[in-house]
Amino acid sequence: MNTHYLTADEVTTALGISKGTLYSYVSRGLIRSEEIGGKTRAKRYNGADVQKLQQRQAQRKNPIQSAATALFFGDPVLESAITLIHEGELYYRGHNALQLARECHFEQVAALLWDDTAVEAAMPLLPSPENRQTSPLLAPPIAATVRRLVAQGQIAEA
């Protein structure tokens, strides 16, 4: 992979920032850098990172354009750790939303959305619709969630 690099002067000009701000961006991981080598302490800066920052600057300057690019043929394209729309189907944290609605208790889905991995791991999904007549329904994970919230002092014990 052939990476494009820029000098500090090129970066500061492209972004309209000072060298101090550039060094701040590097320390925060927004722009990757590497030493050029030799006797100098000069560095070169990743061009793709600079381009991403330029795009962010442009979006801040024109929020209407930013909102327009947040949709692609009516589908949202904003990145999210919770939802994904892929090939016309909705997923919550990697689980098909329709399957969750059919096979899970409300509380289980809520725990999944809250990223409560302990509750999610402790409470398996409901049996398939074919087996629901013969299998007992699983207890909802709400009791485990309440115990955890009480232990953390987030709610009072009833």
d(CA 132, CA 116): 26
pLDDT of residue 50: 95
Whole-number Cα distances in Å, 48 to 2, 51, 91: 11, 5, 30
80-121: pLDDT as tens digits: 667 877 777 888 888 888 888 888 888 888 888 887 555 445
Lowest mean pLDDT among 23-32, 78-87, 116-125: 116-125
pLDDT for 25 beyond 80: yes
Picking from 101, 100, 95, 103, the residue whose alpha carbon sits closest to that of residue 129 is: 103
In a domain, 103, yes or no: yes
Residue 28's CATH number = 1.10.1660
Q: Which range marks the domain in which residue 47 is found?
A: 5-63
**Is residue 12 classed as helix, strand or coil in its secondary structure?**
helix
Question: Which amino acid makes up residue 35?
Answer: E
In a domain, 73, yes or no: no
The whole model's pTM is what? 0.43
DSSP secondary structure code for residue 111 in this structure = H
pLDDT of residue 134: 38
Task: Answer yes or no: do 54 and 10 share one domain.
Answer: yes
In a domain, 127, yes or no: yes
Number of domains in the chain: 2
